[in-house]
Chain A
């Protein structure tokens, strides 16, 4: 069975600085997707970024980028120029290819951006 581990329950960063959130996963599959979701205090789940395992190039979305290390089964999220609005819970999630959309989530990392 696939598992997703986020080893940092809480993190904090100063506004405008860079922070990296860690995620590791365990799978025997070769084709899969990885996601980072953001959950602000409103509790809405918002997709931040997605990575397809067969793509070697790391995904980027504006200030958000990932470091995808397939052999190490690592998928970290880097937030550059942190903003107060980035304060939220961040969840790493795994999806096995063509398995009907079953997302497996990590336990989450609570990020606080301080002014």
Chain B
């Protein structure tokens, strides 16, 4: 298995632009998670899906952030408009179940820089 795939790996954009991050979970995994990592706040969960349905989006910073999962093999995290404080590494992870008995497998992350 190729593991969790994220694209792009690096993104540099200007303030005000729309940014779309993409994730392909491991095949057969029912749970997908989006995390953000910054020096100030560490690793924080933004949103997670179960069977393509958003379950908990309480970590999404504000309305500028949105996430979708149109099918079991694809998810997007969109920031519109982007701001310099959104600069971070964004991770996607997936797991077979949400019980904790199954490992969450992380993708390589997308390093976002908003100028």
Quote the shortest CB–CB distance from A72 to chain B (angstroms).
21
Residues of chain B with a CB closer than 8 A to A96's CB: 100
User: Given A42-B108, A107-B42, does the pair A102, B93 have CB atoms closer than 8 Å?
Assistant: no
How many chain A residues sit at the interface, stated as a range, is 20 to 34
Q: Which of A52, A91, A95, A101 has the most chain B CB atoms inside 10 A of its CB?
A: A101
Residues of chain B with a CB closer than 8 A to A33's CB: 100-101
Interface with B: A20-28, A43-51, A61-69, which one? A43-51
Report which of B50, B97, B108 forms a contact with A44, defined as CB distance below 8 A: B108
Residues of chain A with a CB closer than 8 A to B104's CB: 47, 101, 103
In the complex formed, the residue of B with least CB distance to A98 is B99
Interface residues of A in 76-115 (CB under 8 A from B): 91, 95-108
Give the dominant DSSP class at B's interface.
Answer: strand
Asked if B99 and A106 sit within 8 Å, CB to CB, the answer is: no
Interface residues of B in 17-44 (CB under 8 A from A): 31, 33, 42-44
In this complex, how many residues of chain B approach chain A with their Cβ under 8 Å: the count is: 26
Asked if A45 and B56 sit within 8 Å, CB to CB, the answer is: no
B72-115 contact mask (Cβ, 8 Å, vs A): 1 or 0: 00000000000000000101010101111101111011010000
Asked if A95 and B100 sit within 8 Å, CB to CB, the answer is: yes
Asked if A103 and B45 sit within 8 Å, CB to CB, the answer is: yes
* Contact surface of A with B, Cβ cutoff 8 Å: 32-33, 37, 42-47, 50, 52, 91, 95-108
